A and B are shown apart, each in its own frame.
Chain A
Amino acid sequence: MMNQRPFLHGRRLLTWAATALVLITLPMMFTQSFAISMLSQMGIAIIFALSYNMLLGQTGMLSFGHAVYFGLGAFISVHTLNAIGDGTFHWPVTLIPVIGGLAGLFFGVIFGYVTTKHSGTPFAMISLGIAEMVAACSLMFPTFFGGEGGISTDRAAGEPFLGITYGPGVQVYYLIAGWCFLSMVAMFALTQTPLGRMANAVRDNAERARFIGYNPTRVRYMMLILSSFFAGIAGSLAAMNYELVTAENVGVVASGNVLLMAFIGGVGHFFGPIIGATLVTFIQSALSNYTLAWLLYFGLFFLVMILFAPGGIASLITLHKDAWQVSQVRRLVPAYIAAALAGLIALLGLIGLIEMTYQVETKAEQSGTGMSLFGIAFDAATPTPWITSAAILVVGGVLLWAASRRVRASWTAVALVINARRSA
């Protein structure tokens, strides 16, 4: 029977083993310090985004203040690390995330008591209020929050254990990867418990849950406390990774960022936020090396996702899994190739316009209007590159419009097959 399978049955065991293998081997494939640092950030972001999705995806709570638990966990961890460095406190550095997690949990107990009295829009508003309040506190209490400069630390402060000092980046990566793996397993296991299931029930229909013995407020409160624990772990790891925690870590921008990660990845599936956290971290750190306008591109990307894939990347994956199972993916490929080519052309035109605007508006005073894009040197003060870019954008746009009709037609055909197989 389906529900009587053990927790680690064949396919699931394979998935977790593969995940562990990927976490272990990644830094062997990407050995540059830039890559290791990005991988570490991804691991932190994955824990944080998954903990956020315990609220949004699993319990239906849209929080604008989840970074409060991440940030406070980070601050407590930084102070703990400094106390270890001073010799006033003894604790293995490897287990600092336990302290960060408990700090997150502690503040979850306090703030969650207030926020989870309500659901829906009031919850969202109160969570924003708490975030603003904590952000304001961070400037009022400089001894704890370190004022504008934040609090710095030395992660190698503890006693070396088996030669591990957490000085080198790769050692921190493995610390993060280990905690990331444990947190992923724990958060997944939580979805399989009575509380995890009732969180879904409260998300879908809180009123009905009241008439089968459950108090929805209590379910939301407990989920928030547990999710704060994991957010605290993520914050703790961030403190060790950057060796610096600032007021920004508790701020609303950080809270918004984790929302974007969860949403882009897809809140309807457990693995969605993992994809979202990985992708968003990659875009943020890779793209920001190439262009000043990276936030604009990121915003556009988010907009396109919301408009065309509101269920996030995870929903796109499951959609294509369905098509794959009835061996219909090949019918989609030609339309996808056409759309990708058209999209690429439109994107080239768009990039040209955006980069030229940035050159003229922000860089002209220092470096003039001469620039180069895709290996072509030109002057952004002349009309030719503008006209060319605009023309490419228009042509690409028209082609994209035509290609999207083709994609839609192919999908209609595929959906018919999927539905026919299902009802058969």
Chain B
Amino acid sequence: MTTDISLIRNFCIVAHIDHGKSTLADRMLELTHTVDQRTMRAQYLDRMDLERERGITIKAQAVRLFHEGYELNLIDTPGHVDFTYEVSRSLAACEGAILLVDAAQGLEAQTLANYHLARDAGLTIVPALNKIDLPAAEPDKRADELAHLLDTDPDRILRVSAKTGEGVPELLKAVIDRVDPPTGDPDAPLQALIFDSAFDTYRGVITYVRVKQGTLSSNARIRMFATRITSEAEEAGVMAPEATPVDSLGPGEVGYLVTGLKDVHQAKVGDTITLAGKSGASEPLPGYLEPKPMVWSGLFPAEGGDYSELREALDKLKLSDSALVYEPETSQALGFGFRVGFLGLLHMDIVRERLEREFGLELIATAPNVEFHVFKGDTETVVHNPAEMPPGGDYDRVEEPVVYATIITPAEYLGAIFELCQARRGEMVDMEYLTPERVEVHYVLPLAEIVFDFFDQLKSKTRGFASLDYEPYGFQESKLVRVDVLLHGEPVDAFSSVVHRDKAYQYGKQMTERLKELIPRQLFDVAVQASIGSKVIARETVKAKRKDVLAKCYGGDITRKRKLLETQKKGKERMRRVGRVDVPQEAFIAALRVDEGAKKR
């Protein structure tokens, strides 16, 4: 039984993290009796444990609600800058978007960026202020701010408390009234947009789809446009909110499809599903992009022997994570591992955490780096690993990726933001006062400057008030150099880094000082040096050890002493050897640790 198309509304919620999107979704599930009180739990739609713990949504989800005769498809969007592309595909599955803004905190950069995406996609915007029950809420002020942005009347902005449920019925009514129903010919050749995909151990690849035109039946023989894979579909259905099979999905409908495929790379987000054979559509839906890693890091098993386990784990993870790419890498210092590409720092963190948590692996990760394009004569080399960058001078120029960053901040912190962006090699594009107190600033910044502690710095310099969003903005030439770190004259590839020439000295000094503290004293003086090519730019010395434990050793001490030696022997076996220097893996982990926080977006 398919619903009359004029009674369908497809919408999503655009909100900043913590502004209450998941809580609002919970209230909608309750209000529409989609989930009964007994089975209700907080943040119902956030399935993965990891998501629930971090309070963010990684995978978009679609849930069908029935309300006053209407079929409402709520499409959840990821709330993180790493997943902008996934957001854009979710938006493409909707006709409308609730723009949800915290009535105390006001508009944030992330929301603004996604609002722009939604507006550009032609979606009807239903603005709403959340958390009006909070004592700190300033609904009138925030309504003015939003109205100004949207060029609308403040009266059109709804006011809700997702926590108490106040205003949620009115919001649903506004969605029904203001958002257009979808259109589409059920008899036209099938075009269904994949806006998310997941991997299920038992059922294989499950795609979440929005049918644009034509009809997708449960047992259709389907074809993917981008990958040209054909397959027998196994089941079509809707999330209500648990998976419920249906005979077919018609135009405007949102649901899932068990594809019969075994690898998510065969059914990519943004791709179009049509029917195999002559009855299929001749054109895909617009807007498909290959997922493109932005950040790279070497992942190595802490125990050398776990390499094959790491490979198996990555292979398994790849089945459910279409954005994950990796290639084998051999490090002199860390042994066999992989150079892994991620959409961003959060993605990197999630992958690492899943590898450790779900597969029980202990990992050493090198500092994240971006991709560099190295030009020499007519050849261009793409470098994902700083250790592969040619040494100083052996190329004509290097390009690095830059991003277009949007920062929203209270005006009083503008100075601090200028200073920070300046120090991070940023170039201001423009700025605009949203209200007399709040400013939107745009910068072009090297991505490499953001992947470290930029976000932390931004938050600490603005007492947490500024927000950041960014999108890729191509590549630009930069004065970059490779800084190597040497122990006792031996370069440690895992510590090589590509940094701007002006920051090379600072980086070298920081690394040598850090390593001086981390490397245990050896039987000889160990020089810790940083160099560009053959030129040493920083040096520290780990002085030779002169004395180890000299405890007395009489009758009662001997057993204890022997056990201590055995423990030390095991510790020594776990050490990595760089030339003549023994380095415990803890030292690698600590030296490579990036300041926390860049990921807590």
Decide if A and B are genuine partners.
Answer: no
Interface residues of A (CB under 8 A from B): none
Interface residues of B (CB under 8 A from A): none
